[in-house]
Each structure stands twice: as C-alpha cells, then as structure tokens.
Amino acid sequence: MIPTATPETNTRRADPGSHRIALVLAGIIVLVAGLTLGFVVTAIGATRTGELDIDVAIAHHRSGALTTLAMLINVACGTLVAPLVLLAACGILWTRSRSAALALGGLTIVGWLSVEIGKAVVHRPRPPAAAVHALVAETAADSYPSGHTAFAAATVFAVVAALVLTGRRTRLAWLIGLPVVAAVGVSRLYLGVHYLTDVVASVLFAGASVLLAAVVARPFLLRFHDGESRRSRE
C-alpha cells in the first residue's frame, strides 16, 4: 500500500522557520521573566509583597477534608510518586500511540525539571513554618518555584502539545488540566510550603520549557507519528 499525503499532514508540516524562531524566542523570554520575578520577590521579601499574609490567612481556614486532600496531592505530585504516575500513564498510552507517549513523557520531564534552574539560582527561603503553621516540613532554600505545581503544569502542557502534534483537539485537555494545576498550586499554599509567586512561576517555567522542547522535538515526533500512521494503514 502506497502512503499518500493528507491535508492534515501537509498542514502540520507547513511550519516556516520564522514561526519556530518566534516560538523559541517567546519561550526564552518567559523563562527569563520567571527568573527575574524570582530575584525581585526574593529581594523584596514575602512580608513586603504580602505573600506571607496570604499563607497565614489560609492557615487560619483549614479543615480536615481539605487537609487530607492537600496531603494526597503532596504525595501524588512528589518526587517519589509522580515519576511512577507518569510512567504508568505513558505505558498505557504507548499501546495506543507511541508518538503521543514519547511526547507526553519527554515533555513532562523537561517541564518538571526546568524549575530546578530557578531553585538553584534564586535560593528563596521557604515560608516560616511557625508563622504559617506548615503541615509539611520543608526547610531548604528552594521555595521558588514549586516543583509539585510544575509537575502538574508540565503534564497538562505536554498533553496539549502531544494532541497538537498528532492533530487532535485540545479543548478538553485545557478544561480538565487548568483546574487541576490550580488545585495543586493552592494546595502548596494551604500546606504552608510555598508562596503565591512560587506556584505562578512554576507554570511559567513549565510552559516555556515545554514549548521550547516541543519546537525542537517536533520534526522527530511528526516523522515518528507519520510512520506509525502508515504502519497502521498497511
């Protein structure tokens, strides 16, 4: 059977170099903005930015059910469980679309690990445990950005990128993913282990790094997807 080019394939391959350059520049700008924000809020201090007051206010409105939920999120998006969740998701997806599984796994990892740049460079102290009645012990100066939120955001962005690369709709992914990212971010404030800009920056870092990685990996992923499609039609 001779494979034929489809309008969808032609549309996806019609990607001018100027468009890719614009996306790369956008990603770099967002990453620089994220680092700049980290330096600024760390220099000003959480008391003057009002972020400490937000954490303290949240600590005064805790409940048993919300605490249980926040603790579950803490475990699910932590460094021990999150890789297993991602591996399981990619394994299930592999049986249906190997290109989508590669995109999901690779882009999520890149987006998640991108926050390590901010943590290593900014060195923002965690919220004072006594003041916010922290429910999780975090003492290292690595508050900025939030790794848990970055994992959630990177996963959502990776899913969207995989859908775009395979020519599928992304609306449902956004509708489900954005509230999940928001819930994870709020849970970090609720537990008293992060400030507001920490979780906001996580979305910036994850989004920008997934965008950059997707632009770089796009030709390979498209070839892989097209080959996979041809094999399924033969």
Tell whether the model's pLDDT for residue 133 goes beyond 90. Answer: yes
Tell whether the model's pLDDT for residue 3 goes beyond 60. Answer: no
Backbone φ/ψ region at 123: left (φ over 0), alpha (ψ -120 to 50), beta? left
Residues in the chain: 234
Residue 2 in any domain: the answer is: no
How many domains does the chain divide into? 1
pLDDT bracket for residue 225 (50, 70, 90): low
Instruction: Return d(Cα 147, Cα 188) in angstroms, integer.
Output: 10
pLDDT higher for 20 or 154? Answer: 154
Tell whether the model's pLDDT for residue 141 goes beyond 90. Answer: yes
**CB under 8 Å to 138, separation ≥6 — which residues?**
126, 193
- Reference 163, options 209, 210, 208; nearest CA is 210
pLDDT at 230: 64
pLDDT at 233: 59
Q: How many CB atoms lie within 10 A of CB 214?
A: 24
User: Hey, what are 140's tokens?
Assistant: 């290292």
Find the domain containing 216 and state its range: 18-233
Residue 155 in any domain: the answer is: yes
Residue 132 in any domain: the answer is: yes
Percentage of the residues of the chain whose pLDDT score is greater than 90: 75
Tell whether the model's pLDDT for residue 7 goes beyond 60. Answer: no
User: Hey, what are 103's tokens?
Assistant: 């995109």
Instruction: Return d(Cα 220, Cα 233) in angstroms, integer.
Output: 20
Residue 3 in any domain: the answer is: no
Residue 107: CATH number of its domain: 1.20.144
Residue 101 in any domain: the answer is: yes
**CB under 8 Å to 30, separation ≥6 — which residues?**
204, 207, 208, 211
